[in-house]
Amino acid sequence: MVPEKQIDDFITRLRQAAEDNLQSVVLYGSAATGEFHDDFSNVNLLCILREASFAKVAALAPAVEWWSRKQRHAPLVLTREELERSADVFSIELLDMQQRHRVLFGEDPLSGLNIPMHLHRAQLEYELREKLILLRERLLLHAGSEPRLWELLLGSFSAFATLFRHALIALGEVAPHSKREVMQALATRIQFDPSAFLELLDIREHKADRKQFNVKDIFGRYLEAVQRITSAVDTILDSAGSSGTSA
């Protein structure tokens, strides 16, 4: 369950600390879409300030310290201008926020945000490659430890699920919000075995016990799927870009 009372209490503390400098508070990610799982999900908040000087940001510190004691991540803090000028370098993150958010206080800073989709494609290819490299790097460090392999699988799942959703968007598909539906839709578009991701979803949602699975078997299918998707998305998008250029 989304900790609504905690969130409300935090916003009250933020408003008292920031006074009229707080312009908006937005909830985004899984907590805004019904896929929140307290074991694996963060409560993601965006705070828009009118001014982000040292004094103005530091004024929020007591409220954020209280929030951190609840085992919650600090909010993302930006001015409205910074948000608008970040769309070219954070296209994936801001498109995700734009499509999956709930305004908790103030005006909606995301609804009219212009996100350049040609830069979205470039960031997607970069993020897929980077996270695949990091996955292999951590596998090298933890291949002999089953608990660490489980931690790596479950810890990296959300990041890959987000990128796979954006892969569908970049490929011109309508991307569902549900992680399960994203896996199934992408497996239809790109031929890969989604079973490792579906099994991890069952574990995350407490529909299955990890003890019934072999972690190395799941990791093998997980890694193979990530490699297949990364290669296919790169190839398809590059081919589409080349066709568009020649036309």
Of 41-45, 153-157, 220-224, the one with minimum mean pLDDT is 41-45
Average confidence (pLDDT) over 214-235:
96
* Cβ atoms of residues 21 and 105 within 8 Å: no
Residue 40: what pLDDT?
66
Average confidence (pLDDT) over 160-180:
92
pTM of the model: 0.81
- Is a pLDDT exceeding 90 seen at residue 93? yes
Residue 243: what pLDDT?
53
* Cβ atoms of residues 16 and 109 within 8 Å: no
pLDDT digits (tens, 9 = 90+) for 29-44: 888 887 777 776 789 9
Angle between helices 146-170 and 195-204 (to 10 degrees): 110
Rounded to whole angstroms, how far apart are CA atoms 234 and 228? Answer: 10
What is the torsional sign of CA 190, 165, 151, 38?
negative
Residue 87: what pLDDT?
92
